[in-house]
């Protein structure tokens, strides 16, 4: 009895002396975030507590008890986080069951959930506070601007200060808006006179009569860059002007408005502006374009510097509504994921307008992006541009890009983005009609010879590839969002949660492959000695749950095969032929354990393959593979996965902890068929341009140096695989 009363007294004393969980979380900040993920502080009494006398209940005993700490394993954290997503407040029965499964004390489970809830609450509060602070600053700045505008308003009758108390609310608002627009016109006129040598013409008077972002006539200072009437020579065209300068933002606004007008006119025009080439692609008639827009922002200032015009148009019906499509295009993260095969890097640098009415109508952003072809032999195209979105009166959305290279401190660009973008029209049943226009001036003299024709015909970076990618990715998104398991899905998948987890894992695998296969300036490709075709690079993997730690060696090579892309795609994706080219399969039989269809094309799917090898060490090897195909190219991307980790994913577990090193193929149509002795009747009927890429962990120590032997092994692996692929695609029918 004495011991029990003493223990209760000690607990009461601890409760008043020890800081609360919320106080401890607020004081420790990010350190507590890590603690809640990796372990719990155990305050439960031990078996020896009842034997302790009063002398042992001092401060030293309480400090020792508070310091006892147990680090959880990765599996324990995953299981508890999975339950937390479903039930943040588990009852005693759930906690006891989970503790038995994980080998933990029920109090450890209880304290972990308490810490997790406290951490989540603190994160939410910090996020909400940040939003409220930003909104408060925005309202304060707007209030200050209106107060200054009030001082400039005068009575139209006597010229004295206006008596705003006698005006209606609407009249006060209109007068404030007029004062703001007058001030903006004066500022724009001053900036224009500084750079062009004369004040703004009538076009900005029209600009003042409407909202700051709207349609307007092309201003005089947006004439031809360089040459007579265009504001000077090339040096002045590339003058450095800071985007963050408030005086320059109206220039970007008017440039975006003018680009929007040009895009709409081009997208809705027919012949003679657009002509259809032998590949059934709408390409731009350059002479007609210059006739329609003689002083436009799309004129040719760099033709004498090796630049050429490349413009195309494509239309398609997409299985997504316009609002969601606009969100994909205006959110740089979603845009980069959906177009990961084209966009290697992208960033929003400045937001001049967030839009109105709770959507992106009127949104204007300054962005930078790098566009790629999946091969290290084709240089990327870097662009610095404004992206403007507007919903027009007929319900059609339009998103336009236009280069801002004359507004930045940067070396001379190799690609200039004329007004490019898309029109999106709503159709019944949640579909959209998309008309896409790609219009650039580019210096592509660094492109490898085997890809030159593909690039020149606008199949590499043109509108057809953008639309085909968007169509395929929207089908994939629709499949990923399905709550039921379609009849076409086979194998070990028996839950919608498992299906979504494996699709999420496959998406990460594809994104990782695409970011490491092109010639992005973020990579440092090195050509192997004695081989002009194979490029290698190394990357360190540290504290990345999605990659194994250590030195990762990436190797890629591009080559030509004399079979149509569809045949090459079918053979490389099929488990039937895999043992003929995949060295990892070691000649074993490959079975498909799971199949998830994610598009109309039967080749668009995610598969889980099992290698039944004679080698006992490889008998449990699984391969996750995603294959995708459209009119402009195909991908077969795969990665070995751990058997135990994959079981967790199949039951709906978090796929972010599964380590992947993806490898695979990018297959593009060869448009050089007649010059190689092959007759081309349509796109995809000639040969194929194949890029083979590997990612291999050569050392588990991130700070170690790569050995010459590792590079030689990878070189041998690629050459052997390349020869096997040539034999497989030439000797089999698919």
pLDDT of residue 188: 55
pLDDT of residue 198: 38
CA 687/CA 669 separation, integer angstroms: 7
pLDDT of residue 731: 81
Higher-pLDDT residue of 41 and 418 is 418
pLDDT of residue 177: 64
The β-bridge partners of 309 are 441
| pLDDT surpassing 70 at residue 614 | no
Higher-pLDDT residue of 163 and 79 is 79
Query: Where exactly are the structural domains of the chain?
Result: 248-480, 494-732
| pLDDT surpassing 50 at residue 603 | yes
Residue 368 near residue 394 (C-beta atoms within 8 A): no
pLDDT band for 16, please (50, 70, 90 cuts): very low
DSSP string, 675-724: GGT---SSTTSS-EEEEEEEEEEEES-TTSPPPHHHHHHHHHHHHHHHHH
pLDDT of residue 464: 95
Tokens of 38: 């990796």
User: Class of 494-732 per CATH?
Assistant: alpha beta
Picking from 386, 471, 454, the residue whose alpha carbon sits closest to that of residue 421 is 386
Q: Residue range 206-212: average pLDDT?
A: 33
| pLDDT surpassing 60 at residue 20 | no
Lowest mean pLDDT among 33-47, 343-357, 526-540: 33-47
CA 50/CA 345 separation, integer angstroms: 62
Answer yes or no: same fold for 248-480 and 494-732.
yes
Tokens of 177: 């808006």
Tokens of 256: 């975006």
Q: How many CB atoms lie within 10 A of CB 19?
A: 10
CA 604/CA 566 separation, integer angstroms: 12
DSSP string, 552-594: EEEEEEEEEESS-HHHHHHHHH-TTSHHHH-GGGTT-EEEEEE
pLDDT digits (tens, 9 = 90+) for 73-112: 888 888 888 888 888 888 888 888 888 888 888 888 898 8
Taking the CA atoms of residue 357, residue 358, residue 361 and residue 366 in that order, the dihedral angle to the nearest 10 degrees is 130
Q: What are phi and psi of 440, to 5 degrees?
A: -135, 160
pLDDT digits (tens, 9 = 90+) for 658-669: 888 999 999 999
CA 389/CA 399 separation, integer angstroms: 4
Picking from 315, 322, 334, 191, the residue whose alpha carbon sits closest to that of residue 255 is 191
pLDDT band for 320, please (50, 70, 90 cuts): very high
pLDDT digits (tens, 9 = 90+) for 219-229: 332 222 233 23
pLDDT of residue 37: 42
Q: What's the Cα-to-Cα distance from 98 to each of 46, 108, 111, 279, 425, rounded to whole Å?
A: 21, 11, 13, 61, 51
Higher-pLDDT residue of 312 and 204 is 312
- Strands, E, within 364-467: which ranges? 364-371, 381-391, 397-403, 415-417, 420-426, 432-442
Residue 98 near residue 105 (C-beta atoms within 8 A): no
Task: Please indicate, yes or no, whether the overall pTM of this predicted structure exceeds 0.85.
Answer: no
pLDDT of residue 175: 66
Q: What are phi and psi of 193, to 5 degrees?
A: -60, -35
Residue 439 near residue 415 (C-beta atoms within 8 A): no
Tokens of 287: 């002479």
Tokens of 86: 């479903």
Angle 502-507-513 (CA atoms, 0-180°, nearest 5)? 125
Residue 98 near residue 78 (C-beta atoms within 8 A): no
Helix (H) or strand (E) holding 298, with range, is none
pLDDT digits (tens, 9 = 90+) for 482-504: 766 665 555 667 778 888 899 99
Average pLDDT, the chain: 75
CA 481/CA 598 separation, integer angstroms: 11
The most confident of 236-250, 437-451, 477-491, by mean pLDDT: 437-451
Q: Residue range 667-675: average pLDDT?
A: 74
pLDDT of residue 568: 93
The most confident of 130-139, 247-256, 345-354, 399-408, by mean pLDDT: 345-354
Question: Tell me, which fold does domain 248-480 have in CATH?
Answer: Alpha-D-Glucose-1,6-Bisphosphate; Chain A, domain 4 (3.30.530)
Q: What are phi and psi of 4, to 5 degrees?
A: -65, -45
Using only C-alpha atoms, what is the Rg of the chain? 31
Contacts of 562 (CB under 8 A, 6+ apart): 676, 678, 687, 730
CA 17/CA 703 separation, integer angstroms: 46
pLDDT of residue 40: 46
């Amino acid at each position: 009895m004495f011991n029990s009363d003493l223990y209760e007294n000690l607990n009461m004393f601890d409760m008043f002396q020890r800081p609360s969980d919320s106080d401890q979380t607020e004081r420790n900040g990010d350190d507590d975030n890590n603690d809640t993920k990796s372990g719990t502080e155990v305050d439960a009494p031990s078996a020896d507590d009842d034997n302790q006398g009063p002398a042992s209940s001092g401060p030293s005993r309480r400090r020792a008890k508070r310091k006892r700490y147990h680090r959880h394993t990765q599996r324990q954290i995953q299981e508890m986080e999975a339950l937390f997503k479903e039930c943040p407040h588990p009852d005693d029965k759930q906690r006891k069951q989970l503790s038995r499964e994980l080998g933990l004390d029920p109090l450890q489970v209880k304290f972990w959930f308490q810490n997790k809830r406290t951490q989540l609450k603190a994160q939410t509060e910090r996020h909400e506070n940040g939003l409220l602070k930003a909104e408060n600053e925005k309202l304060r700045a707007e209030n200050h601007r209106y107060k200054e505008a009030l001082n400039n308003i005068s009575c139209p009758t006597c010229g004295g200060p206006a008596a705003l108390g006698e005006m209606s609310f609407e009249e006060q608002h209109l007068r404030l808006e007029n004062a703001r627009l007058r001030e903006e016109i004066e500022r724009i006129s001053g900036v224009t006179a500084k750079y062009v040598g004369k004040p703004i013409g009538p076009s900005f008077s029209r600009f003042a009569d409407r909202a700051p972002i709207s349609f307007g006539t092309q201003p005089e200072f947006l004439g031809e860059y360089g040459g007579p009437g265009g504001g000077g020579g090339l040096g002045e065209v590339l003058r450095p002007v800071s985007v963050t300068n408030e005086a320059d933002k109206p220039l970007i606004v008017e440039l975006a408005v003018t680009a929007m007008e040009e895009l709409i006119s081009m997208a809705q025009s027919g012949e003679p502006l657009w002509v259809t080439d032998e590949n059934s692609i709408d390409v731009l008639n350059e002479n007609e374009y210059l006739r329609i827009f003689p002083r436009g922002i799309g004129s040719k200032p760099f033709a004498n510097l090796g630049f050429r015009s490349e413009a195309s148009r494509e239309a398609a019906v997409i299985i997504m509504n316009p609002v969601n499509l606009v969100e994909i295009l205006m959110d740089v993260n979603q845009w980069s994921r959906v177009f990961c095969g084209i966009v290697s890097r992208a960033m929003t640098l400045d937001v001049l307008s967030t839009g109105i009415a709770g959507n992106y109508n009127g949104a204007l952003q300054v962005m930078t992006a790098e566009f790629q072809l999946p091969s290290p032999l084709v240089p990327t195209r870097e662009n610095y541009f404004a992206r403007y979105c507007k919903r027009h009166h007929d319900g059609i959305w339009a998103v336009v890009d236009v280069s801002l290279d004359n507004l930045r401190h940067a070396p001379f660009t190799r690609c200039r983005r004329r007004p490019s973008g898309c029109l999106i029209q709503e159709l019944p049943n949640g579909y959209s009609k998309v008309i896409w226009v790609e219009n650039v001036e580019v210096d592509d003299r660094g492109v490898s010879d085997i890809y030159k024709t593909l690039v020149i015909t606008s199949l590499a970076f043109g509108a057809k590839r953008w639309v085909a990618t968007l169509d395929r990715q929207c089908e994939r998104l629709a499949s990923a969002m399905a709550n039921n398991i379609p009849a076409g899905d086979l194998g070990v998948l028996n839950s919608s949660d498992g299906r979504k987890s494996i699709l999420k894992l496959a998406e990460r695998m594809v994104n990782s492959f695409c970011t490491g296969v092109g010639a992005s300036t973020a990579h440092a490709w090195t050509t192997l000695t004695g081989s002009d075709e194979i490029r290698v690079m190394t990357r360190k993997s540290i504290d990345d749950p999605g990659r194994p730690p250590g030195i990762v060696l990436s190797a890629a090579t591009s080559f030509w095969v004399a079979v149509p892309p569809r045949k090459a795609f079918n053979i490389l994706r099929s488990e039937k032929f895999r043992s003929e080219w995949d060295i990892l399969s070691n000649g074993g039989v490959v079975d498909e354990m799971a199949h998830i269809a994610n598009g109309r094309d039967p080749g668009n799917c995610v598969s889980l393959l099992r290698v039944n090898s004679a080698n006992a060490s490889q008998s449990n090897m699984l391969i996750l593979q995603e294959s995708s195909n459209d009119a402009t190219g195909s991908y077969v991307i795969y990665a070995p996965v751990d058997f135990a980790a994959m079981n967790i994913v199949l039951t709906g577990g978090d796929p972010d902890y599964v380590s992947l090193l993806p490898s695979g193929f990018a297959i593009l149509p060869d448009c050089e068929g007649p010059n190689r002795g092959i007759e081309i009747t349509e796109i995809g009927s000639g040969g194929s341009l194949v890029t083979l890429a590997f990612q291999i962990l050569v050392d588990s120590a991130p700070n170690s140096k790569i050995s010459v032997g590792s590079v030689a092994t990878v070189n041998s692996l690629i050459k052997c695989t390349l020869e096997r692929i040539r034999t497989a695609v030439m000797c089999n029918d698919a």
